[in-house]
Amino acid sequence: MVVDSANADRVEALLADLGRYPGLLVAFSAGVDSAFLLAAALRALPADRVLAVTAVSPSLPAAELVYARDFAALVGAGHREAPTDEMQREGYRQNSTSRCYFCKAELLDVVTEYLGDLPAGSRVATGTNADDQVAGFRPGIRAAAERGAVTPLADAGLDKATIRATARAWGLPVWDKPQAACLSSRVAYGIEISPTRLARVEAAEIAVRSSLQASRVGSVNIRVRDLGDSARIEVDRDLVEQPGPWQEAVVAAVRSAGFREAHIDPQGFRSGSMNEGRTPSGRTGR
Protein backbone atom coordinates (compact mmCIF):
# COMPACT_ATOMS: atom_id res chain seq x y z
CA MET A 1 0.00 0.00 0.00
CA VAL A 2 1.41 3.37 -1.06
CA VAL A 3 -0.07 6.80 -0.43
CA ASP A 4 -0.08 8.61 -3.78
CA SER A 5 0.26 12.37 -4.10
CA ALA A 6 -3.48 13.01 -4.39
CA ASN A 7 -4.22 11.05 -1.25
CA ALA A 8 -1.24 12.59 0.52
CA ASP A 9 -2.85 15.96 -0.15
CA ARG A 10 -6.08 14.68 1.36
CA VAL A 11 -4.22 13.58 4.48
CA GLU A 12 -2.65 17.02 4.78
CA ALA A 13 -6.08 18.58 4.39
CA LEU A 14 -7.34 16.28 7.16
CA LEU A 15 -4.59 17.40 9.53
CA ALA A 16 -5.27 21.05 8.73
CA ASP A 17 -8.98 20.53 9.38
CA LEU A 18 -8.35 18.77 12.69
CA GLY A 19 -6.02 21.53 13.81
CA ARG A 20 -8.82 24.12 13.74
CA TYR A 21 -10.83 22.48 16.52
CA PRO A 22 -10.42 23.71 20.10
CA GLY A 23 -10.48 20.03 21.03
CA LEU A 24 -11.66 16.73 19.62
CA LEU A 25 -13.42 13.83 21.31
CA VAL A 26 -12.98 10.73 19.16
CA ALA A 27 -15.70 8.09 19.43
CA PHE A 28 -13.14 5.31 19.55
CA SER A 29 -14.28 1.79 18.73
CA ALA A 30 -10.71 0.50 18.18
CA GLY A 31 -11.48 -0.16 14.52
CA VAL A 32 -9.12 0.98 11.77
CA ASP A 33 -10.95 4.23 11.03
CA SER A 34 -11.41 5.58 14.54
CA ALA A 35 -7.88 4.49 15.50
CA PHE A 36 -6.44 6.34 12.52
CA LEU A 37 -8.56 9.39 13.29
CA LEU A 38 -7.28 9.37 16.87
CA ALA A 39 -3.66 9.20 15.70
CA ALA A 40 -4.27 11.99 13.20
CA ALA A 41 -5.88 14.20 15.84
CA LEU A 42 -2.80 13.78 18.02
CA ARG A 43 -0.64 14.94 15.12
CA ALA A 44 -2.77 18.03 14.64
CA LEU A 45 -3.56 19.00 18.23
CA PRO A 46 -1.81 18.94 21.61
CA ALA A 47 -2.52 15.72 23.50
CA ASP A 48 -4.50 17.53 26.20
CA ARG A 49 -7.00 18.66 23.55
CA VAL A 50 -7.74 15.15 22.30
CA LEU A 51 -9.76 12.49 24.10
CA ALA A 52 -10.69 8.97 23.02
CA VAL A 53 -13.93 7.57 24.44
CA THR A 54 -14.86 3.92 23.97
CA ALA A 55 -18.44 2.78 24.51
CA VAL A 56 -18.51 -0.35 26.67
CA SER A 57 -21.52 -2.67 26.55
CA PRO A 58 -22.35 -6.32 25.89
CA SER A 59 -22.13 -5.60 22.16
CA LEU A 60 -18.39 -4.85 22.35
CA PRO A 61 -16.18 -7.95 22.15
CA ALA A 62 -13.80 -8.13 25.11
CA ALA A 63 -10.81 -8.37 22.76
CA GLU A 64 -11.76 -5.06 21.15
CA LEU A 65 -11.78 -3.28 24.51
CA VAL A 66 -8.30 -4.61 25.25
CA TYR A 67 -7.16 -3.41 21.81
CA ALA A 68 -8.66 0.03 22.45
CA ARG A 69 -6.77 0.36 25.72
CA ASP A 70 -3.50 -0.77 24.18
CA PHE A 71 -3.77 1.47 21.12
CA ALA A 72 -4.68 4.56 23.14
CA ALA A 73 -1.65 3.94 25.36
CA LEU A 74 0.57 3.41 22.31
CA VAL A 75 -0.32 6.76 20.73
CA GLY A 76 -0.43 8.61 24.05
CA ALA A 77 -4.11 9.48 24.01
CA GLY A 78 -6.28 10.17 27.00
CA HIS A 79 -8.84 7.38 27.08
CA ARG A 80 -12.20 6.98 28.81
CA GLU A 81 -14.44 3.93 28.91
CA ALA A 82 -18.08 4.96 28.81
CA PRO A 83 -20.74 2.41 29.82
CA THR A 84 -23.64 2.53 27.37
CA ASP A 85 -27.03 0.86 27.72
CA GLU A 86 -28.45 0.51 24.24
CA MET A 87 -30.45 -2.48 25.51
CA GLN A 88 -32.79 0.03 27.17
CA ARG A 89 -33.75 1.37 23.74
CA GLU A 90 -36.65 -0.66 22.41
CA GLY A 91 -35.67 0.00 18.80
CA TYR A 92 -32.28 -1.56 19.46
CA ARG A 93 -33.61 -4.65 21.21
CA GLN A 94 -36.18 -5.28 18.49
CA ASN A 95 -33.30 -5.56 16.02
CA SER A 96 -34.92 -4.17 12.92
CA THR A 97 -32.79 -2.98 10.02
CA SER A 98 -32.65 0.40 11.83
CA ARG A 99 -30.91 -1.11 14.89
CA CYS A 100 -27.69 0.81 14.21
CA TYR A 101 -29.59 4.09 14.48
CA PHE A 102 -30.51 3.40 18.10
CA CYS A 103 -27.04 2.07 18.90
CA LYS A 104 -25.31 5.17 17.52
CA ALA A 105 -27.84 7.44 19.22
CA GLU A 106 -26.99 5.87 22.58
CA LEU A 107 -23.26 6.11 21.85
CA LEU A 108 -23.36 9.79 20.93
CA ASP A 109 -25.68 10.73 23.79
CA VAL A 110 -23.27 9.12 26.27
CA VAL A 111 -19.87 10.16 24.90
CA THR A 112 -20.99 13.76 24.45
CA GLU A 113 -21.09 14.02 28.24
CA TYR A 114 -17.28 13.77 28.23
CA LEU A 115 -16.86 16.99 26.22
CA GLY A 116 -16.52 18.76 29.56
CA ASP A 117 -13.01 17.27 29.82
CA LEU A 118 -11.96 19.30 26.78
CA PRO A 119 -11.85 23.04 25.95
CA ALA A 120 -15.07 24.87 25.18
CA GLY A 121 -16.15 24.45 21.57
CA SER A 122 -14.69 20.95 21.23
CA ARG A 123 -16.53 18.50 19.01
CA VAL A 124 -17.30 14.79 18.91
CA ALA A 125 -15.87 13.04 15.84
CA THR A 126 -16.65 9.63 14.39
CA GLY A 127 -14.52 7.45 12.13
CA THR A 128 -16.97 7.59 9.21
CA ASN A 129 -14.94 7.49 6.01
CA ALA A 130 -15.63 8.37 2.38
CA ASP A 131 -16.61 4.79 1.52
CA ASP A 132 -19.20 4.77 4.30
CA GLN A 133 -20.94 7.82 2.89
CA VAL A 134 -21.62 6.13 -0.43
CA ALA A 135 -22.35 2.66 0.96
CA GLY A 136 -26.12 3.13 0.97
CA PHE A 137 -28.17 2.16 4.01
CA ARG A 138 -26.32 3.46 7.09
CA PRO A 139 -28.80 4.54 9.78
CA GLY A 140 -26.00 4.98 12.32
CA ILE A 141 -24.50 7.79 10.25
CA ARG A 142 -27.85 9.58 10.33
CA ALA A 143 -28.07 9.29 14.13
CA ALA A 144 -24.58 10.74 14.54
CA ALA A 145 -25.30 13.60 12.14
CA GLU A 146 -28.49 14.49 14.02
CA ARG A 147 -26.38 14.85 17.17
CA GLY A 148 -23.83 17.13 15.57
CA ALA A 149 -20.92 14.70 15.30
CA VAL A 150 -18.27 15.66 12.75
CA THR A 151 -16.76 13.27 10.20
CA PRO A 152 -13.24 14.50 9.39
CA LEU A 153 -12.15 11.42 7.43
CA ALA A 154 -15.14 11.56 5.10
CA ASP A 155 -14.88 15.33 4.78
CA ALA A 156 -11.27 14.95 3.60
CA GLY A 157 -12.31 12.32 1.06
CA LEU A 158 -10.34 9.51 2.72
CA ASP A 159 -11.49 6.01 1.82
CA LYS A 160 -10.60 2.79 3.64
CA ALA A 161 -7.69 1.92 1.35
CA THR A 162 -6.07 5.32 1.85
CA ILE A 163 -6.60 5.15 5.60
CA ARG A 164 -4.91 1.74 5.77
CA ALA A 165 -2.03 2.88 3.56
CA THR A 166 -1.46 6.03 5.61
CA ALA A 167 -1.70 4.14 8.89
CA ARG A 168 1.00 1.78 7.60
CA ALA A 169 3.19 4.70 6.52
CA TRP A 170 2.79 6.18 10.01
CA GLY A 171 3.80 2.88 11.62
CA LEU A 172 0.42 2.27 13.22
CA PRO A 173 -0.23 -1.44 13.93
CA VAL A 174 -3.91 -0.97 13.15
CA TRP A 175 -3.20 -0.68 9.41
CA ASP A 176 -3.93 -4.35 8.71
CA LYS A 177 -6.44 -4.99 11.50
CA PRO A 178 -9.33 -7.14 10.24
CA GLN A 179 -12.72 -5.51 9.87
CA ALA A 180 -14.61 -5.46 13.13
CA ALA A 181 -18.22 -4.81 14.01
CA CYS A 182 -20.32 -4.96 17.13
CA LEU A 183 -21.64 -8.34 18.20
CA SER A 184 -25.21 -7.28 17.46
CA SER A 185 -24.36 -7.16 13.76
CA ARG A 186 -24.08 -10.96 13.88
CA VAL A 187 -27.74 -11.42 14.85
CA ALA A 188 -30.32 -11.84 12.09
CA TYR A 189 -32.78 -8.95 11.84
CA GLY A 190 -35.99 -9.54 13.75
CA ILE A 191 -34.38 -11.70 16.44
CA GLU A 192 -34.40 -9.78 19.72
CA ILE A 193 -31.00 -8.67 21.01
CA SER A 194 -30.08 -9.67 24.55
CA PRO A 195 -26.83 -9.84 26.55
CA THR A 196 -27.14 -13.64 26.67
CA ARG A 197 -27.45 -13.89 22.90
CA LEU A 198 -24.46 -11.61 22.35
CA ALA A 199 -22.36 -13.58 24.84
CA ARG A 200 -23.18 -16.78 22.94
CA VAL A 201 -22.03 -15.26 19.66
CA GLU A 202 -18.79 -14.04 21.22
CA ALA A 203 -18.13 -17.45 22.79
CA ALA A 204 -18.80 -19.15 19.45
CA GLU A 205 -16.35 -16.92 17.59
CA ILE A 206 -13.66 -17.51 20.20
CA ALA A 207 -14.32 -21.25 19.88
CA VAL A 208 -14.00 -21.09 16.09
CA ARG A 209 -10.68 -19.28 16.26
CA SER A 210 -9.34 -21.78 18.80
CA SER A 211 -10.55 -24.68 16.68
CA LEU A 212 -8.85 -23.32 13.57
CA GLN A 213 -5.60 -22.84 15.46
CA ALA A 214 -5.79 -26.43 16.74
CA SER A 215 -6.34 -27.60 13.15
CA ARG A 216 -3.34 -25.52 12.02
CA VAL A 217 -5.35 -23.45 9.58
CA GLY A 218 -6.19 -19.78 9.81
CA SER A 219 -8.70 -17.18 8.75
CA VAL A 220 -8.22 -13.44 9.04
CA ASN A 221 -11.96 -12.86 9.27
CA ILE A 222 -14.36 -14.92 11.37
CA ARG A 223 -18.06 -14.36 11.90
CA VAL A 224 -20.71 -16.49 13.56
CA ARG A 225 -24.10 -15.29 12.36
CA ASP A 226 -26.91 -15.96 14.82
CA LEU A 227 -29.99 -17.17 12.94
CA GLY A 228 -31.93 -18.17 16.06
CA ASP A 229 -31.34 -21.77 17.06
CA SER A 230 -28.82 -22.20 14.25
CA ALA A 231 -25.65 -20.40 13.23
CA ARG A 232 -23.96 -19.59 9.94
CA ILE A 233 -20.17 -19.63 10.12
CA GLU A 234 -18.20 -17.32 7.85
CA VAL A 235 -14.44 -17.63 7.35
CA ASP A 236 -12.19 -16.36 4.57
CA ARG A 237 -13.17 -17.65 1.13
CA ASP A 238 -9.78 -19.20 0.43
CA LEU A 239 -10.14 -21.33 3.56
CA VAL A 240 -13.66 -22.42 2.58
CA GLU A 241 -12.13 -23.73 -0.63
CA GLN A 242 -9.78 -25.98 1.37
CA PRO A 243 -12.05 -28.79 2.67
CA GLY A 244 -10.71 -30.87 5.51
CA PRO A 245 -11.20 -32.03 9.10
CA TRP A 246 -11.18 -28.40 10.26
CA GLN A 247 -14.73 -27.97 8.97
CA GLU A 248 -16.28 -30.61 11.20
CA ALA A 249 -14.25 -29.30 14.16
CA VAL A 250 -15.45 -25.73 13.60
CA VAL A 251 -19.09 -26.76 13.39
CA ALA A 252 -18.71 -28.77 16.59
CA ALA A 253 -17.08 -25.78 18.30
CA VAL A 254 -20.02 -23.51 17.46
CA ARG A 255 -22.55 -26.07 18.62
CA SER A 256 -20.65 -26.42 21.90
CA ALA A 257 -21.12 -22.69 22.43
CA GLY A 258 -24.89 -23.18 22.56
CA PHE A 259 -26.22 -23.34 19.00
CA ARG A 260 -28.41 -26.31 18.13
CA GLU A 261 -27.22 -26.40 14.52
CA ALA A 262 -24.41 -24.77 12.56
CA HIS A 263 -23.05 -24.74 9.03
CA ILE A 264 -20.17 -23.13 7.15
CA ASP A 265 -21.21 -20.56 4.56
CA PRO A 266 -19.82 -21.67 1.17
CA GLN A 267 -19.57 -18.03 0.08
CA GLY A 268 -17.12 -17.23 2.85
CA PHE A 269 -16.84 -14.03 4.87
CA ARG A 270 -18.67 -10.96 3.61
CA SER A 271 -18.83 -7.76 5.60
CA GLY A 272 -22.47 -6.83 6.20
CA SER A 273 -23.83 -10.14 4.92
CA MET A 274 -26.87 -9.74 7.19
CA ASN A 275 -27.97 -6.92 4.88
CA GLU A 276 -28.12 -9.17 1.81
CA GLY A 277 -31.83 -9.85 2.24
CA ARG A 278 -32.74 -6.25 2.93
CA THR A 279 -35.08 -4.55 0.51
CA PRO A 280 -34.64 -0.90 -0.55
CA SER A 281 -37.32 0.10 1.96
CA GLY A 282 -35.12 -1.13 4.80
CA ARG A 283 -37.18 -4.28 5.43
CA THR A 284 -35.63 -7.69 5.20
CA GLY A 285 -36.64 -9.85 2.30
CA ARG A 286 -38.02 -13.31 2.69
Residue of 251, 270, 239 whose CA lies nearest to 204: 251
Interval 80-91 mean pLDDT:
95
Q: Is 138 helix (H, G, I), strand (E, B) or coil?
A: coil
Contact 25, 118 (CB under 8 A): yes
CATH topology of domain 5-176: Rossmann fold (3.40.50)
Per-residue DSSP letter, 121: T
Per-residue DSSP letter, 11: H
Specify the pLDDT at position 14: 97
Average pLDDT, the chain: 92
Residue 284 pLDDT grade (very low, low, confident, very high; cuts 50, 70, 90): very low
Q: Is 120 helix (H, G, I), strand (E, B) or coil?
A: coil
Q: What is the dihedral of CA 197, 201, 204, 210, to 10 degrees?
A: -140
DSSP per-residue codes, 189-208 = TTSPP-HHHHHHHHHHHHHH
Residue 277 pLDDT grade (very low, low, confident, very high; cuts 50, 70, 90): low
Q: For 224-233, b where at least 16 C-beta lie within 10 A, e where not — what string? A: bbbbeeebbb
Question: Using CA atoms, how far apart are residues 123 and 112, in angstroms rounded to an integer?
Answer: 8
Interval 75-80 mean pLDDT:
98
Architecture of domain 183-275: 2-Layer Sandwich (3.30)
| 254-276 pLDDT per residue, tens | 999 999 999 999 999 987 777 77
Q: For 33-61, b where at least 16 C-beta lie within 10 A, e where not — what string? A: bbbbbbbbbbebbeeebbbbbbbbbbbbb
Contact 158, 34 (CB under 8 A): no
- The structural domains of the chain, with segments of one domain joined by +, span 5-176, 183-275
Residue 285 has pLDDT above 60, yes or no: no
Specify the pLDDT at position 1: 56
Specify the pLDDT at position 134: 77
Q: Is 97 helix (H, G, I), strand (E, B) or coil?
A: coil
